[in-house]
Structure 1
Amino acid sequence: MSDDFVMHRISASKREKLGSIESRRIRRAGRIPAVVYGHEQEPAHVSVDDHDLRNLIKNRERVFEIDVDGQVEETMLRDLQWDTFGTEILHVDLIRINASERVTVEVPVQLRGTSPGVVGGGVLEQPLHTLELDCLAHSIPDSIPVRINSLEIGDAIHVNEIEVPRGSKIHNAPDQVVVHVVPPMGVAEPAEEGEAAEAAEAPEEATEG
């Protein structure tokens, strides 16, 4: 998000009744059941317009305001529950925030470029698909780009080599592998020069006659 951050706002309505039957009724009316947590306040049970929520998701908006009967709160999208087919939103969890406070969120890793090691027959493996990022709530990036243009077979990129937006910090262990290129199945990695020399100089075991 840019420094000219503009927070979007959607309307929400209080839910007077709870339970699965009421939730189904709300969804049939084109709305999504939601719960707002945080800031040492009681959870608020509300519903939001399905279309409005989908627009926010489509535009990758995680931080937005909700207007509950004239009371506006800054919130962050915490969790979405989808149906079995991943097409219908069943429920949403929101957390109250201050847009200028720091939050810790999972941000997806986006690989960019082409690895010469993969072009040469290596296999790209990505142990970490998301990173735990500490940043300002209004500065949550859509993704963290990781360039793999220089990865040869046997090379790896670790957490401590990842560039993040200024003022942000990754909580994952620095030595964790984000992405690496391994030899094709059944092909051993080339030995280091020293190891190869030792193997060549090692005497053969005597055999009994």
Structure 2
Amino acid sequence: MSEVRIAAESRTVFGKGAARKIRRANKVPAVLYGHGIDPKHLSLPGHEVLLALRTPNVLIRLEGDGVDELALPKGVQRDPIKGFVEHVDLLLVKRGEKVTVEIPVTTVGDVHSDGLLDQQLVQVAVEAEATHIPTGVEVNVEGLTVGTAITAAQLQLPQGATLVAGPETVILQVIAKPVEAAEEAAEGEVAVAAAEGETAEASAE
């Protein structure tokens, strides 16, 4: 995983008023903690933080104002309406150390036409080196039939990552379609077949 470099400024004034002032300047209040250090209160450029957080488990290199550290976002507060970042908690990490993170679980392919995919977890907890956090894990669901379930233990994790979630945790399963949906699908298939038959007859005439 590549590092995103972000300029950091130390801040010594706290409270809601000070935080609002920082945000009005298009910056984000942040706290850096971990490894037994006293928490460092920082101010970060808002736009750069917003862009960085688009990448899950992004590794941030904080630079400037006496700070030169690697960190992982561990808590992000956003405005519930506008969505902009209001505050970030950052965990100090060192190269080579292991961290526990949640990575996205994505699927490829389509399950059997008789079933519906029920994905119960969109993220799974793993342990990996702080500087080599996988971007996610992919599950091929092509042709899976009703009753099939994929557990955490069955995930093909990227090299260097180990499972933290319980191995029996169900990630996804294939369930039967509701009766109405199955009937509609069958009617659609009949209609298509009938249309194809009419087209064939017209061509023969």
Structures share a fold, TM > 0.5?
Answer: yes
Conserved 8 A contact 1:63-1:99? no
Partner Cα distance (1:40, 1:181) in 2? 46
Q: Matched residue of 2:38: which SS?
A: coil
Partner Cα distance (2:63, 2:43) in 1? 11
Letter in 2 for 1:63: L
Residue 84 of structure 2 is matched in structure 1 by 88
**Per-residue deviation at 1:185?**
3.7
Mapping 1:48-197, distance limit 5 Å: 48-60=44-56, 62-85=58-81, 87-116=83-112, 119-120=113-114, 122-185=115-178
Superposition TM-score, scaled by structure 2 size:
0.82
For residues 89-133 of structure 1, the C-alpha deviation after alignment (integer angstroms, 9 at most, x for no partner) is: 1100101001321100011211111111xx22x222122221111
Partner Cα distance (1:163, 1:86) in 2? 37
Partner Cα distance (1:185, 1:148) in 2? 20
Residue 7 of structure 1 is matched in structure 2 by 3
Partner Cα distance (1:154, 1:164) in 2? 23
May I ask how many residue pairs the two structures share in their alignment?
Answer: 180
Q: Matched residue of 1:138: which SS?
A: coil
Structure 2 runs not aligned, ≥5 long:
181-205
Between 159-168 and 32-41, report the one with greater CA deviation.
159-168
Residue 33 of structure 2 is matched in structure 1 by 37
Residue 192 of structure 1 is matched in structure 2 by none
Which protein has the bigger strand share?
Answer: 2
Partner Cα distance (1:72, 1:155) in 2? 49
Q: Cα 1:174–1:60, aligned 2, differ >3 Å: closer, same or farther?
A: closer
Q: Matched residue of 1:42: which SS?
A: strand
**Per-residue deviation at 1:87?**
1.7
Aligned-pair RMSD on alpha carbons?
Answer: 1.7
For residues 4-33 of structure 1, the C-alpha deviation after alignment (integer angstroms, 9 at most, x for no partner) is: xx4232111111110011101100001000
Conserved 8 A contact 1:9-1:65? yes
Which protein has the bigger helix share?
Answer: 2
Partner Cα distance (2:160, 2:134) in 1? 12
Partner Cα distance (1:127, 1:78) in 2? 23
Partner Cα distance (2:51, 2:120) in 1? 31
For residues 36-89 of structure 1, the C-alpha deviation after alignment (integer angstroms, 9 at most, x for no partner) is: 010100001111001111221234461121014143011111111111125211
Conserved 8 A contact 1:11-1:68? yes
User: Is 1:23–2:23 an aligned residue pair?
Assistant: no
Q: Cα 1:52–1:61, aligned 2, differ >3 Å: closer, same or farther?
A: farther
